[in-house]
Structure 1
Amino acid sequence: MNSVEILVPDLPESVSDATVATWYKKVGESVNRDEILVDIETDKVILEVPASIKGILEKILEQEGATVTSRQVLGFLKEENSNSQKITKVESNKFNLTSPQSPNVAVENDSASKLSPAIRRLILENNVDVSKIKGTGIGGRIIREDIDNYLIKKIDDSKNTLKTTSIPEVEQTIIVRNEQRVPMTRLRKRLAERLLDVKNSTAMLTTFNEVNMKSIIDIRKHYGDIFEKRHGVRLGFMSFYIKAVLEGLKRFPEINASIDGDDIVYHNYFDISIAVSTPRGLVTPVLNDVDTFSMADIEKKVKELALKGRDGKLTVEELTGGNFTITNGGVFGSLMSTPIINPPQSAILGIHVIKDRPVAIDKQIVIMPMMYLALSYDHRLIDGRESVGYLMLVKDILEDPARIILDI
């Protein structure tokens, strides 16, 4: 039978190495063609490695957590034939058989193989007899609650024994404390490095303002259903934010610029990054040439990028570039924050939760849906005049969206 190499995919030019994230198959298991064998995690994205043939996973050379490079051999696939299938079935039956003398051997071995490292340590520390515990986790897996219940029952039984033998009751307390040490993902590690670099290499400052969101809320209520029927996507807030940000970048080119050594690079195009929270950490996919987008195009693209980020399907190209970033902490309920610049960009806009608050309008106190804006910027490049002027323009456009149509 022929063996086929399982190779690391070609890594992007900006990525020198990667980490083996998850093996989905164990040695000896059958694999279908194009079935995902392993995930490879880079600083930016997760790459899936599918099986090139139908067969059996013969060998794993690089375990989870190992650092690998482009085109490195991860393991071997063995082409499956009828003889190997028969052997596998015979071995499987052999291990599933239970004799009358040892009816629980197979069950105990199977349970032991399902114990997590934390549970194993807990069992050893408290001298627990695993055979007396019935797992309540998925597939009969023993979980921490099972150990705790066993220890409590053991204490109660010992107390009852002491009482029946007329021995004074002795209080016993077993405190079970558990820790779990998990290595940082490459994305989280890279994110930590970049955040520290920003803190140490920029003169970051944040300026604030607040926006009355009533006009945009009224537009969404009035035209939301028509917009969705026409374009097949909901009219959200993000398209308004991006349009306002875009107008600001056109009128304040310093906000759209970056520092490269001793030079200032002014970008004559508008690529806006959108901060997206994913299970693996924060990523910033990019909307390229956003000045060519309609409101509907923006909503569709933002939705697409958010779903890809959630599922870990973003490509390197979708995460590369960007001249300015928008981060929306309001989706998590954040009232106010000081966002950190996404290097090599020079500014980032933080938008927050919309709250009804009393405000003074025409010398009258009224309740309005208000939202705080926060613009963090690199003071080496952007002065107070540009930063405050930019934020005021974004505020004015959001409070009166008709300014976008009239270009005023």
Structure 2
Amino acid sequence: MAAVEIKVPSAGESVTEGILSRWMKPDGARIKSGEPLFEVETDKASTEVPAPADGVLKIGVAEGETVEVGATVGTIDPSGSPAGAPEAPKETAGKAEPAPAEAPSTSTSAAPQAPPTPAPTAGGDGPMAGEPSPSARRLAEEEQVDLKSVEGSGRGGRITKEDVIGAVEARGTSPAPSAPAAPPSPAPTPTPTDGASRTGRQTRQRLPLIRQKIAQRLVQAQQTAAILTTFNEADMSAVMALRGKYKDAYKEKHGVNLGFMSFFVKAAVEALKAFPAVNAQIDGTEIVYNNYYDVGVAVSTERGLMVPVIRDCDSLTFAGIEKTIVGFAKKARDNKIGVDDLQGGTFTITNGGVFGSLLSTPILNPPQSAILGMHSIQKRPVVVDDEIVVRPMMYLALSYDHRIIDGREAVSCLVRIKECVEDPERMMLEI
């Protein structure tokens, strides 16, 4: 029975390639159709690809390699035997026939015989013994390691990335950098992954494709948009009192907690309806006014910032918004957020307050024209009816593209959001 090719599936219209980040089954393993087989990391999301058939896996592309959509990365042999499984003995006339012993050499020549050619790994067309994997070869070039001095620990003696890392560590010194080292970053050092190269006092690892794309989009936003930020603050007393009063009954009826984000999503929709330019975008020399309200909610994951989109927020209830957010959070934990979850969006809300941020200036998420930043709630003295009182206050920030949104519209939009949050009953009654 012919082997079944394993291909990289399409992950969206704009996605043409990705990185095969990891195989979830080892080479030579027996797998079942539908089992998670490998993971492809694109600039938008990470996708688990299931096995297309039952059989024995033959890996054709190493982890860490860039692959195009539609490319073949391996095969599945429906009639193959798992790696390491003994072959069944041949039978003759009902009796097992022992495998023939290797015949001794009959050569009488005194000349020494050439060493045997290394045999390929299981599968017949696999890598030769001592041949480095693509990732091992790339790392060896970066770290100036002579592959002839490295002993392979992979199948058939193949040199793996881990073998090269071991050789670098055994050497005890890292190669001289080609350029002066950059000053240390004040940000916390990320936890090294299994694919990291540790040399002396540094740890080097590949920048994930999604972080490369984030970097490109942030730079694009800074270079193409005229970004300004306006600030205000909201008294969270009414929202906190409402949540405290109904949280148990709400959880019992809807199965989710009543969070702050649903209030801000609803408040944003009311403000966007009042100021359509904030929900619009620039397309060449035209302004595109969006008559729908798809709000992206920025979430931080181990792979970087993602902005899944809550569709048609104007038609959703508070419970509908909360359930959608809970679903995105679960997908993020399970690394299952797909491209469709991230595409589109007319406005974004980001909550730096969950990390303790008191104030920030969020960056636009192109091609959107505005983004709302939420922050920590702190008790502060404020003046209410000519009296100084202590209230739970939150700073709000609205960054906007001044090419399409005037200052008056931006300030008025943020004031509208503030008013809705401070008087949630009015927002719920849509007055």
Same fold (TM over 0.5): yes
Distance 2:223 2:83 in 1: 59
Give yes or no for the alignment of 1:26 onto 2:26. yes
Distance 1:212 1:59, change over 3 A: closer
**SS of aligned partner of 1:345:** coil
Distance 1:2 1:369, change over 3 A: same
CA displacement 1:168-218 (0-9 Å, x = unmatched)? xxxxxxxx9432211111111111101000000000000111111011000
1:85 Cα shift? 6.3
Distance 2:166 2:384 in 1: 61
**SS of aligned partner of 1:180:** strand
CA contact (8 A) 2:11 2:339 kept: no
Instruction: Give the equivalent residue in structure 2 for 1:76.
Output: 75
**SS of aligned partner of 1:385:** helix
CA contact (8 A) 1:54 1:80 kept: no
1:83 Cα shift? 9.0
CA displacement 1:338-379 (0-9 Å, x = unmatched)? 000000000000001111122222232222111110000000
Q: Which amino acid aligns with 1:224?
A: K
Q: Which amino acid aligns with 2:421?
A: L
Distance 1:263 1:81 in 2: 59
Instruction: Give the equivalent residue in structure 2 for 1:173.
Output: none
**SS of aligned partner of 1:387:** helix
CA displacement 1:101-127 (0-9 Å, x = unmatched)? xxxxxxxx79x989675554233218x
CA RMSD of aligned residues (A): 2.9
Distance 1:329 1:319 in 2: 19
1:233 Cα shift? 0.9
Q: Which amino acid aligns with 1:121?
A: V
Instruction: Find the partner of 2:291 among 265, 268, 280.
Output: 268
Instruction: Find the partner of 1:245 among 265, 268, 280.
Output: 268
Distance 1:114 1:15 in 2: 28
Give yes or no for the alignment of 1:229 onto 2:259. no
Distance 1:203 1:65 in 2: 38
Compare 283-292 and 371-380 and name the one that shifted more.
283-292
TM-score (structure 1 length as normaliser): 0.78
Alignment of 1:6-405 (within 5 A): 6-60=6-60, 62-80=61-79, 86-87=85-86, 118=165, 120-125=167-172, 177-405=200-428
Q: Which amino acid aligns with 1:41?
A: E
Q: Which amino acid aligns with 1:123?
A: A
Compare 344-353 and 272-281 and name the one that shifted more.
272-281
CA contact (8 A) 1:118 1:179 kept: no
CA contact (8 A) 2:5 2:72 kept: yes
**SS of aligned partner of 1:14:** coil
Instruction: Give the equivalent residue in structure 2 for 1:164.
Output: none
TM-score (structure 2 length as normaliser): 0.74
1:81 Cα shift? 5.2
CA contact (8 A) 1:213 1:398 kept: yes
Q: Which amino acid aligns with 1:243?
A: K
1:88 Cα shift? 7.5
CA contact (8 A) 1:118 1:178 kept: no
Q: Which amino acid aligns with 1:18?
A: G
Distance 2:87 2:16 in 1: 39
Alignment size in residue pairs: 346
Q: Which amino acid aligns with 1:36?
A: P
**Bigger helix share:** 1
Instruction: Give the equivalent residue in structure 2 for 1:134.
Output: none
- Aligned sequence identity (%): 46
Compare 354-363 and 229-238 and name the one that shifted more.
354-363
Distance 1:354 1:12 in 2: 39
Instruction: Give the equivalent residue in structure 2 for 1:137.
Output: none
**SS of aligned partner of 1:87:** coil
